[in-house]
Chain A
């Protein structure tokens, strides 16, 4: 991924900044300029909203044939997490064995390295999830 393409989304990836619809109060992540439910009524009424980072596992899988950047981690767990704000996110689940993961498990987002351009290139950070202590 190019540096500008990554840099553009640093606020979302590192800090979990999403948006909240001023009409129906639904929360979105990543940010949207239009609420899919309210359409043009929401134009200009989407407010910035920080996602707490806490949520529950909705569903999960153990990946055995990974993406090129993730080979060293294989097998690893991917999950869809339903955040306390109602929005869902896809991320890796760490700090737990696959057979210990359950639907509804409480997890929190943590900042972790996701990959790197090359040994001397930029390193990407972003969120992963781990069980709440």
Chain B
């Protein structure tokens, strides 16, 4: 297996982007990444696109060749990868395998989602399709409520508090305020989160990440040729994936994401590194409870210590482990199928020392964690600073 590097990144701003179509989002991000890498169109051997639900969101399936077409890459193999909210991260895993296997040299992996062409209620209904439609949502379970059930259980079992959940949102907004591509570039006080209107108890409006439009892309190549391109390379060191029962109620423990646990273990085993080696992590904080579960299930903190660790400030920028320096899904935004690529883009920015006011000092290694549905699938990637 060959070692893999990222040599180019691109992403659109995230938010309600009324003037941009899905096609535009994919192309803008892709062209930026290609330009950053300094590769030519002829060199690109494959394109993967992570996307959750273009079919229901904009009535367009088969979007990978469409994006390739308008990016001037017609003829290039182009495939869409779907794994709910983990579509982006799973697409990146496919790109990694294409390069690592020796099958392809230059591969572009993009992610794009257009969430705001449908109304809020419809967008949430579509998102809930990434849970178990026939045995959860048909009975009235919203996507929010499934995470609320995990949150309530986590609070009952481990004593996690409402304030600890809220602190996740406060921290991620602090980081997002330092990210020019973030949807919400403002800090928020704890009280604002605690007093936000109930969505599904114990979760309020500010416990939930927005549903956003956005596109992101990266360019991959083998480590041996990485320095022959113009973009400063970053190493992709480990990839791990996992799955679990689709319905939350079928999980061994409903306060734990086994898919995350397996994905993290597999990715770390590939690198020989441990959680203690990581300087930062971009985790899937679609809800505040999700970040608390993620930092436990990846292995940064013991089960049940995610809440207290957050409250102690152990996950703040440049503390024990900088969690979601980009602002995460909560503040940077949630273009669902693009999230995994947005996370990889942040990892590269950090490892190139280009993160400005949200820079993690002396960052050597970083981890990204992307979840599909309510934990039915998860993928973890590990990145390292370039050393020739």
Contacts and interface: CB of A to CB of B under 8 A. Distances in A.
Interface of A: 1, 9, 30, 36, 58-70, 73, 75-76, 78-80, 88-92, 98, 103, 114-115, 124, 126-128
Nearest to B198: A64
B143 to A, nearest CB: 9
Nearest to B199: A65
18 contacts: A60-B149, A61-B145, A62-B200, A63-B140, A63-B142, A63-B148, A64-B197, A65-B200, A66-B140, A67-B128, A67-B137, A70-B140, A73-B140, A78-B200, A90-B247, A91-B140, A98-B201, A114-B140
B149 A59 contact: yes
Contacts of A67: 125, 128, 137, 140-142
Nearest to A92: B140
A62 B141 CA distance: 10
A90 B248 contact: yes
Contacts of B103: none
B149 A78 contact: yes
Q: Which one of A9, A61, A62, A92 has the greatest number of beta carbons of chain B within 10 Å?
A: A61
Contact of A60 (B134, B144, B152, B248): B152
B371 to A, nearest CB: 19
A89 B249 contact: yes
B138 A61 contact: no
Query: What are the 7 tightest A-B residue pairs by CB atom distance, in nearest-first order?
Result: A61-B148, A88-B249, A59-B153, A62-B201, A64-B198, A80-B249, A92-B140
B139 A92 contact: yes
B135 interface: yes
B125 A61 contact: no
B198 A78 contact: no
A79 B254 CA distance: 12
A100 B341 CA distance: 44
Nearest to B143: A67
